[in-house]
Amino acid sequence: MKVTTINTRLRALRAFYNFLCKSKLIDRNPMKNIKLLRDRQKTIDTLDNKEIEKLIRTIRKEKTFISFRDEVIVLVFLDTGVRLSELVGIEVNDVRGNIIIIRRTKNLFERTVYLSETTQEQLSRYIKIRGDVETTKLFISQDNKQLNRHSIQTRLTKYGKEAMINKRVSPHTFRHTMAKRMIVSGVDAFSLMHLLGHTDITVTKRYVNLWGQDLEQKHKLHGALKGLKI
């Protein structure tokens, strides 16, 4: 088994035995001293400026409602870092100016994400073109029904190939790209944790460690001793 699979099962066992102990159904917790396995940290792909611009240009070539919808989806992904499951759960009423209320979250806690002017303008245009349909979901299919996750992933993969981007173009790639750009821009891990909807800051700190080279370059430009004649 992979380390992640083993750790997932260990967490389930830990939760189960913790419940039994709290309910006083057992006297001793056999999982008390069982630790999770350490896993090798893998490099995560992100998109650079040229790749993002190339992707948007490729999507715009089609000049259809569906391609415009897809462009807005990509902008929302990149701007907010939301998960795919969170994006398909957004309703029209969740969009309020430059913010979106994310209700369908992984940890069941609602959170607010913020939009740049570009995304806000394009999203506003999309909502007007979308019009009134039966579903209240923000992103709809060609048949005016709720857009499913598989369709989004399939179209993103298609655009990635057409743009000849030699990386996986996916919602998760956009999420990591957003995290990297925020970190390199100087956003602290605690703020990023809330924007991404992480329940544990250690997950967010992993991103900081992954992109250390970018931070090293940033330190060279803005280090505390920069400009001092000492």
- Span 16-37, pLDDT tens digits: 999 999 999 999 999 989 998 8
- Ranges of each domain in the chain: 1-40, 49-215
> For residue 203, what pLDDT is reported?
75
> For residue 104, what pLDDT is reported?
82
Q: How confident is the model at residue 212 (pLDDT cuts 50, 70, 90)?
A: low
- The answer regarding whether domain 49-215 maps to CATH 1.10.443.10 reads yes
Residue 150 has pLDDT above 80, yes or no: yes
16 or 206: which leads in pLDDT? 16
CB 20 within 8 A of CB 26: yes
Per residue, what are the HEC states of the chain? CCHHHHHHHHHHHHHHHHHHHHCCCCCCCCCCCCCCCCCCCCCCCCCCHHHHHHHHHHHHCCCCHHHHHHHHHHHHHHHHCCCHHHHHCCEHHHEECCEEEECCCCCCCCEEEECCHHHHHHHHHHHHHHCCCCCCECCECCCCCECCHHHHHHHHHHHHHHCCCCCCCCHHHHHHHHHHHHHHCCCCHHHHHHHHCCCCHHHHHHHHHHCHHHHHHHHHHHCCCCCCCC
CB 192 within 8 A of CB 113: no
Total-model pTM: 0.75
> Torsions phi, psi of 37, nearest 5?
-75, 145
CA distance 76 to 80: 6
b/e per residue 98-111 (b: at least 16 CB within 10 A): eebebebbeeeeeb
Q: How confident is the model at residue 213 (pLDDT cuts 50, 70, 90)?
A: low
> For residue 40, what pLDDT is reported?
66
